[in-house]
Structure 1
Amino acid sequence: MGTALTLTAIQAATTEAHRAFQGVTDGQNADYIPVLAKVDPSRFGIVVMLADGKAAEAGDTRSLFAIESISKVFTLARALDTVGADGVRQKIGDNPTGESFSSVHALVVHGGKPLNPFVNAGAIATVSLLAADSAAHRWEQILGTQRAFAGRDLEVMDEVYRSESATNQHNRALAWLLDSAHTLYSDPTEATDVYTRQCSVGITTWDLAVMGATLAAGGINPVTRQRAIRAEHVPRILAEMTMSGLYDNTGTWQYEVGLPGKSGVGGGILAVVPGRLAIATFSPPLDRFGNSVRGQLASRQLSAVLGLNLFAT
């Protein structure tokens, strides 16, 4: 690592990253989910939280946005704790597909196996892996895990859930394709609905930083001091974030930022420096891959200024 990771240095870098990119107007909100298209595109927040809970922040860090695909990280955590790493690897997989995150073709050519838990088919299959005797039980496990990572009571944003439920026909099709290949482990309609709910949970940039710092701290929430996931599973989650975390632009992210990361079309991005800290950003306008434009710029600058790139010598 380059610059000493003092809180003073981190706050200065965070403030400067927010100032530098606040005026960027590139990208547009996700318009295929109508409620997300209406979010104020000027919103922009950054939080950098150390593994001990100390944090620096700038901008809009305390208002809610939809967690969206970042939720896949925490459902994977629950599945790893429930069925184990071998069970997840055997039934879901652990490699990039080389295709779009919502690809049907990737499922067909791989015999119905999703290949990783961060593509939509893999995320729906991961939801189905959880041992549950009802949809409510399955949902309680997922929401409980998100709350354990955030250290507070999170809730579904009802308007987001309704909007996504009305437009999730493609995900429903993926679930039925998985079911036809015997690679879905619960009712397809139930799995898709619970997956839609998990993506509709409201978080703040601060919440996201706490969730990331929990991973940075080996699974212990730095705010509550409670364990959210067994330590042996954290490296597996970070590996998946490294390989498949930013949709079809993951390679560029690793080339430029060099950190495990996960984005969501709600505008959030989470990056983790194992053992040290997490970077959480929120800004709704997205690039063509579905990743926040300002979030990527800010993360890249923070990684460079603070010397965080894991591939740097």
Structure 2
Amino acid sequence: MPCQTNSELNELILQAKRETEGGRVADYIPALAKANPADFSVAIIHPDGLCISAGDIDKKFTLQSISKVLTLALALCDNGEKYVFSKVGYEPTGDPFNSIIKLETNNPSKPLNPMINAGALAVTHLIKGDSVPDRIEHILKFVRKLAGNDKITYSKQVAESELATSNLNRALCYFMKQHGVINEEVEELMDLYTKQCAIEMDCLDLARIGVVFSLDGKDPQSGEQLLPAEVARLCKTFMVTCGMYNASGEFAIRVGIPAKSGVSGAIMGSVPNQFGIGIYGPALNDIGNSSTGIRLLEILSEKYSLSMF
């Protein structure tokens, strides 16, 4: 999809950078620590195919927690809402995304929502397939369809780096296995989950997925229903209530659009019936969201009245 560079968007990026205090890359995952904190790019795709961009939109990054939205959509398509939400709840949490606290205090001991790590692991457990290669291919096929890009795959380097350092996620898995939320081998689930988080794309791919969600699951070019409208609605609701880690409430007030971030510095936004947005800026704030990315979305929302509230 051809994309036009946009001088106004570039100026808004410069403004966002001026108004943002630094940030640092996610160095607790060794492969992500290699990112250049000065990188920043954004693409916006409208339903009619108009694409505008600024920065190096060809630079690839891994989805990390943005993948939670996509596997939730796939799990809902495969298993239905009733079964998925027997394993994970609907409620936001003010705790960090990798916290184990609520698992210990909730009864039953299922994760509060699919956007925290415990909930995402429970959802990934539901992905169908006879083996990890089958299941990651099932996820990739779905992501490629949404992005309109058959070349999307995952970064083996990032997946291996995450698998070697994911002991807290292993602890979450073992806790959930003890309480019957999951019933597969923990290392198999961890292998699948780290590959899922390491799915790699650029801002154009991410914006294209964002516009599919903004159109309630429809392909912006062909009009084909790529996923059920109700699944798209559920995912967008979770993006609003839980998508920006434990800063989701403030983001809803200041920006007011469905969005999901990842610790790679990526953000996917879906402005209902208007456009999809893909952002990459690996310098993170203390919460784990792209610092310049958040500020740019605040500026865009204020300037163009994007908030749905």
Question: TM-score scaled by structure 1?
Answer: 0.92
Letter in 1 for 2:53: E
In structure 1, how many angstroms separate the alpha carbons of the residues matched to 2:156 and 2:134? 19
Counterparts of residues 95-114 of structure 1 (less than 5 Å): 95-110=91-106, 111-114=108-111
* Kept in 1: contact 2:47–2:221 (CA 8 A): no
* Kept in 2: contact 1:66–1:201 (CA 8 A): yes
Which deviations, in whole Å up to 9, do the C-alpha atoms of 1:31-77 show, x marking residues without a partner? Answer: 10111111111110011111232111011211101111001110011
Letter in 2 for 1:197: K
Q: Say whether 1:148 aligns with 2:145.
A: yes
Q: State the shift of 1:131 in Å.
A: 2.8
Structure 1 spans left out of the alignment, 5+ residues: 1-6
Tell me what 1:77 maps to: 73
- Give the fraction of aligned pairs with identical amino acids, expressed as a percent: 35
Which deviations, in whole Å up to 9, do the C-alpha atoms of 1:229-271 show, x marking residues without a partner? Answer: 1122111000000110011111111111011110000000111
Tell me what 2:283 maps to: 285
Tell me what 2:15 maps to: 20
Letter in 1 for 2:52: A
* Kept in 2: contact 1:93–1:114 (CA 8 A): yes
SS in 2 for 1:286: coil
In structure 1, how many angstroms separate the alpha carbons of the residues matched to 2:222 and 2:285? 35
* Kept in 1: contact 2:64–2:262 (CA 8 A): yes
Tell me what 2:29 maps to: 33
Q: Say whether 1:182 aligns with 2:177.
A: no
In structure 2, how many angstroms separate the alpha carbons of the residues matched to 1:56 and 1:185? 45
Counterparts of residues 175-214 of structure 1 (less than 5 Å): 175-214=173-212
After superposing the two structures, state which structure 1 stretch, 20-29 or 163-172, moved more: 20-29
Q: Match for 2:120 among 118, 123, 128?
A: 123
Tell me what 1:215 maps to: 213
Q: Match for 1:49 among 45, 48, 66?
A: 45
In structure 2, how many angstroms separate the alpha carbons of the residues matched to 1:215 and 1:40? 29
Which deviations, in whole Å up to 9, do the C-alpha atoms of 1:159-179 show, x marking residues without a partner? Answer: 211211111111111111111
Tell me what 2:157 maps to: 159
In structure 2, how many angstroms separate the alpha carbons of the residues matched to 1:287 and 1:229? 33
Q: Match for 1:254 among 249, 252, 255?
A: 252
Q: State the shift of 1:226 in Å.
A: 4.6
Letter in 2 for 1:144: K
Q: State the shift of 1:90 in Å.
A: 2.1
Which deviations, in whole Å up to 9, do the C-alpha atoms of 1:273-309 show, x marking residues without a partner? Answer: 1111122211000001100000001111111111111
Structure 2 spans left out of the alignment, 5+ residues: none
- Aligned residue pairs total 304
Q: Match for 1:171 among 166, 169, 172?
A: 169
Cα RMSD for the two superposed structures: 1.9
In structure 1, how many angstroms separate the alpha carbons of the residues matched to 2:185 and 2:273? 39
